[in-house]
Structure 1
Amino acid sequence: MILTVTLNAALDVTYEADALVPRGSHRVLATYERAGGKGINVARVLSALDTPATVTGLAGGPTGQLIRDELRAAGLRDELVPMAGDSRRTVTVVSRKDGDATVFNESGPQVDPVSWADFAARFTHLVREATVVVLSGSLPPGLPSDAYAQLVRSAADSGAATVLDTSGPALLAALPVGPDVVKPNAAEISEVTGHQDVVAAAEALRALGAKAVVASRGPEGLYAVTPQGAWRATPPRRLTGNPTGAGDACVAALAASLASGAPWPVRLCEAVALSAAAVPCPMAGDVDRDIYGRFRTTVSVENTHASHPH
């Protein structure tokens, strides 16, 4: 079983409009609402691939109840832990003209120490069933910057591998504990390492403790540095659409292939193909299975021996 952790779960609201015009008035062409947050999106993609996933994290208040209701309707196993505050919402405006997405992320409620202790106890129980744990997204206010580090350590104690997708202090604090895979995007990896070059930045994160680093290069694909070598994986062509779910689809592919024991070139091929398959979909957590099927046989995976000093 793959366990996905979303400490800052959200109700995702998506508006489709003809185009986003600053200071303009917009007619909404379609509205979607559903449970979101990066770990929940990962679980949704895994479910679409018929890979069992369990959702845990924190949810509270009326918005938290809407999140749990939607998880149930989607057939996802809900192990969210109640908290005192009301869960956040996100708003995404997708332009039908060019597929660009503009996202508004609320920071989320302050998490009290009792809710965090309750979650840590639930996590210790759930992780015993897991082969892989996915830790995704920002930390809500009130949690220590080493919250993910604590969970990576707990997962390792139970024999579960970890995939970490976060940024800033939460990412840096977790590296010394040795997460199995970290997946920053180009902006996140540059921010925490100070390197603009993605190869140097990835090797810097490895030097700080990550066992493997998979850096997203947006439409150019992925760069990975691992104990078995380094690779560039590139999609056969660019797709237009809403890229907000591509990173979560990438993480889902990495988690599934880590659980199956696939070699790294296969993991990266799957991750690029599934990321691309998310782009045409208006909501994060969805993938186009036809595109996934076509791309997974045409992704270019190149072994690279480029070396940069740590």
Structure 2
Amino acid sequence: MILTLTPNPALDVTYQVDRLRPGHTHRVGTVSERAGGKGFNVSRVLHEMGVPTLAVAPAGGVLGDSIRADLEASGVPHALLPVSAPSRMTVAVVPGDEDPTLFNEAGCALPDEDWDRLLALVAQRLEEAGVLVCSGSMPPAAPADLCARVVELARRWRVPVVVDTSGPALVAAAKAGADVLKPNTAELLEALDVPDPVDGARALCGYGAGAVVLSRGADGMVAVTAEGEWRAVPPFAVRGNATGAGDAAVAALSTGVEEQWEWPLRLRAAVAWSAAAVASPLAGSVDTPTLHRIYDDVLVESL
């Protein structure tokens, strides 16, 4: 199965409104609440696509209870570590079919012993895992080497590891030897002082990453690997909620790693799953009709 780690989970709340008008009162059409965080979204997509998965994360407080209850109700297999620090909340305001406006709390700091307990929980499950995914932001005051420690733990168990994070943790994961990194353009340019994001992807591989898949929104993705470099673009733009698009891409990439697909096929699946996620109203899901319309027509070519 594919094991996912969400270091900074949240209760995701989504408000649907007719339109967004700053400074005005809004009447909310529908409200949805979900266990959120990038790793949870990856596990949701994998579970929906019939790929065995287990979601690991710390959870605390009332919102942590809500996260646990939602995962149980959704049927996503999970192993949550109880902690004293309260879990955070994120809010997405979606006006009609326009792009959402997001409000993301930073999260609460955990003591060092909780991070040690979390890594021990991951280690307990690695024997069952074909791939480990570490996905999402690092909470405030998290150990600077946390992401690197996750990668090193997976490598000790000879389990491939896919990392989707940002900032110094992205560089640390590369230097620790992550098998696949999946930054978007903004995250890569934030982490590295380079004018060209593709050159930045090559730099991360030079640091030690096995491959880097650069997400470029509607322009598709670029993969820089030891086997070659490719780009893939969807046949048409999909409008909707792009919040979980990158997570769907990570789900596809981790499936490709586990199944040992060739890189062009991994990239095709990542672009198609990502686009289908945009068509779904909630993060952590893909729209099956959109997936079927797009998949065969994704253009994959060598750089």
What range is the shorter-chain TM-score in? over 0.9
Partner SS for 2:296 = coil
Partner SS for 1:14 = strand
**Are 1:251 and 1:271, in contact at CA under 8 Å, matched by a contact in 2?**
yes
Q: How far off is 1:112 after superposition? A: 1.1
Where do 1:22-33 residues align within 5 Å?
A: 22-33=22-33
State the AA in 1 paired with 2:156: D
Q: Does 1:40 align with 2:31?
A: no
Partner SS for 2:106 = coil
Q: Does 1:81 align with 2:54?
A: no
Partner SS for 1:129 = coil
1: CA distance, partners of 2:36 / 2:161: 20
Where do 1:91-240 residues align within 5 Å?
A: 91-96=91-96, 98-240=97-239
Deviations 1:118-159 (A, max 9, x none): 112111111121110010001112311210100110101111
**Are 1:84 and 1:112, in contact at CA under 8 Å, matched by a contact in 2?**
no
Partner SS for 1:296 = helix
**Are 1:183 and 1:213, in contact at CA under 8 Å, matched by a contact in 2?**
yes
Q: How far off is 1:221 after superposition? A: 0.2
2: CA distance, partners of 1:231 / 1:198: 14
1: CA distance, partners of 2:95 / 2:255: 32
1: CA distance, partners of 2:195 / 2:104: 26
1: CA distance, partners of 2:207 / 2:19: 43
**Are 2:15 and 2:93, in contact at CA under 8 Å, matched by a contact in 1?**
yes
**Are 2:112 and 2:143, in contact at CA under 8 Å, matched by a contact in 1?**
no
Residue 2 of structure 1 is matched in structure 2 by 2
**Are 1:16 and 1:93, in contact at CA under 8 Å, matched by a contact in 2?**
yes
Q: Does 1:257 align with 2:248?
A: no
1: CA distance, partners of 2:22 / 2:157: 50
Q: How far off is 1:82 after superposition? A: 1.1
Aligned residues: 303
2: CA distance, partners of 1:257 / 1:124: 22
Deviations 1:164-208 (A, max 9, x none): 000001111221111000000010111112223222111111111
Partner SS for 2:223 = strand
Partner SS for 2:139 = coil
Residue 90 of structure 1 is matched in structure 2 by 90
TM-score after normalising by structure 1: 0.96
Q: How far off is 1:89 after superposition? A: 0.6
Partner SS for 1:297 = helix
**Are 1:39 and 1:134, in contact at CA under 8 Å, matched by a contact in 2?**
yes
State the AA in 1 paired with 2:182: K
Partner SS for 2:132 = strand
My pick for the range that moved more, 114-123 or 103-112, is: 114-123
Deviations 1:225-279 (A, max 9, x none): 0011000100000011111110000000000111001000000000000000011
Residue 269 of structure 2 is matched in structure 1 by 270
List alignment gaps of at least 5 residues for structure 1: 305-310
2: CA distance, partners of 1:257 / 1:293: 18
Residue 59 of structure 1 is matched in structure 2 by 59
List alignment gaps of at least 5 residues for structure 2: none
1: CA distance, partners of 2:93 / 2:103: 9
Q: How far off is 1:17 after superposition? A: 0.6
Instruction: Give structure 1 regions of 4+ aligned residues with deviation exceeding 6 angstroms.
Output: none
**Are 1:82 and 1:115, in contact at CA under 8 Å, matched by a contact in 2?**
no
Superposed CA RMSD in Å reads 0.9
State the AA in 1 paired with 2:95: S
State the AA in 2 paired with 1:114: E
1: CA distance, partners of 2:175 / 2:203: 12
**Are 2:42 and 2:247, in contact at CA under 8 Å, matched by a contact in 1?**
yes
**Are 1:46 and 1:52, in contact at CA under 8 Å, matched by a contact in 2?**
yes
TM-score after normalising by structure 2: 0.98
Identity %: 48
Q: How far off is 1:114 after superposition? A: 2.0
State the AA in 1 paired with 2:68: R
2: CA distance, partners of 1:228 / 1:46: 26
**Are 1:198 and 1:223, in contact at CA under 8 Å, matched by a contact in 2?**
no
Q: Does 1:298 align with 2:300?
A: no
1: CA distance, partners of 2:95 / 2:193: 33
